[in-house]
Amino acid sequence: MEKNSHTLSRGAKCVRCRQQAEIHLPSHHANFCPDCFLVFFQRQVFRGLKKTPVHPSSPVMVAVSGGKDSLAVWQVLLDLGYCTKGLHLDLGLGDFSEESLERVADFAREKKLNWGSFSLSQEFGFSLREIDALLKGKTCASCGRLKRGLLNRITSRQGFQTLVTGHHLDDEAGRLLGNLLGNRQEHVRKQAPFLPSPHPKVPARIKPLYRVDVREIKAYNNINTIRAVQGNCPFTKGATSPHFKEALSLLEQRMPGLKRSFLYAYLKEKPESKPDAEYGSCDLCGEPAFGPLCSICSLKKRVLSKIHSKSIVSS
């Protein structure tokens, strides 16, 4: 039988303090006790942040869903002394959304943090359920696009120049793999843990967790007793990204460290900082847009035209 490299061997010592280890990181060939693991985790994030021009003193907006990744990134930014504000987007998905909001509220209350919640249906005019019912399928893609657009817009409206997201090593490596398998080279070139602001009204984006993986985030949250929302969004069915992550996990098991070396091999190259086209203004809302309409208004147009064609049929 294959040796499970994810198991901590008995009597293993922490590589940092030589006390009893509790966490085994095969990709780093290291074992840690909980305290030293926190130092390791913070350092990983710090090393990533050093490569961005964002200084702890400049305020950053943190997109927080209430899931393990976004609460971890918020916590580690606090550990590192960053000035943060939490931004929650309520997707209006019943119990799942209510629990998400609760987890963010609890976390912020406990640590006395500044934050705000915005409703997707109020900001956009339609709920995710309505979008799903009208556009049928690819709701995950519509939601992603919508979240990206709204988070940018609200961040900028609130006077912040940087938006932080909880994307981690598995997210980034999985996305990269998906883009490579489809030979989408322009997406490959644009993927980076720091994306500078492409327009005065569009914030820069940073992904401080890109050097840590899901297991490490879970261990970090566990030690910090961070309570995150459980379960998945009901619309993730049919999404392809879990498959890419699954394939990478298999490779990581066979070749510890591969996931990390894969992502880093592509990060060495400088991402394209210039946008593919010149930004103009959206004909409907005046916000920055590549084409005649911004991504939000163009989605809204599709939703409205569906409603219109339905009302013609039913009348």
Burial of 308 (0-12, 13-18, 19+ CB in 10 A): exposed
Residue 44 Rama label (left phi>0; alpha psi -120 to 50; beta): alpha
Q: Is 135 in the site for a copy of itself (CB under 8 A)?
A: no
Does position 12 interact with a copy of itself (CB under 8 A)? The reply is: no
Helix (H) or strand (E) holding 266: helix 258-267
When the beta carbons of 261 and 281 are compared against a copy of itself, the nearer one is: 261
Using the contact rule CB under 8 A, the part of the chain among 21-29, 107-115, 179-187, 279-287 near a copy of itself is: 179-187
- Tally DSSP H helices, then E strands, for the chain: 12, 10
Cα–Cα distances in angstroms (integers) from residue 174 to residues 70, 179, 188, 191, 244, in the given order: 18, 9, 12, 12, 5
The 231-260 contact track toward a copy of itself, x by CB under 8 A, reads ---------x--xx-xxx-xx--xx--x--
Work out which of 133, 141, 265, 307 binds a copy of itself, going by CB under 8 A: 265
Angle at 131 between CA 128 and CA 132, to 5 degrees: 85
Packed helices 214-223 and 34-50: angle between N→C axes, nearest 10 degrees: 120
Burial of 206-232, coded b for 16+ CB within 10 Å and e otherwise, reads: bbbbbbbbbbbbebbbeebebebbeee
Listed ranges 29-37, 130-138, 181-189, 295-303: which one lies at the site for a copy of itself (CB under 8 A): 181-189
Q: Minimum distance from CB of 72 to a copy of itself (Å)?
A: 26
Stretch that binds a copy of itself, among 61-69, 111-119, 120-128, 176-184 (CB under 8 A): 176-184
Report the distance separating Cα 165 and Cα 207, nearest Å.
5
Size of the site for a copy of itself (CB under 8 A): 21
Judged by CB under 8 A, the stretch of 75-83, 89-97, 201-209, 265-273 that binds a copy of itself is 265-273
Q: Is 266 in the site for a copy of itself (CB under 8 A)?
A: yes
Candidate residues 94, 125, 144, 182; the one interacting with a copy of itself per rule CB under 8 A: 182
User: Minimal distance in Å, beta carbon 313 to a copy of itself?
Assistant: 32
Identify the CA nearest to 220 among candidates 46, 72, 9: 72
Least spacing, CB of residue 304 vs a copy of itself, in Å: 33
**For binding to a copy of itself (CB under 8 A), which residues are involved?**
177, 180-183, 240, 243-244, 246-248, 250-251, 254-255, 258, 261-262, 265-266, 268
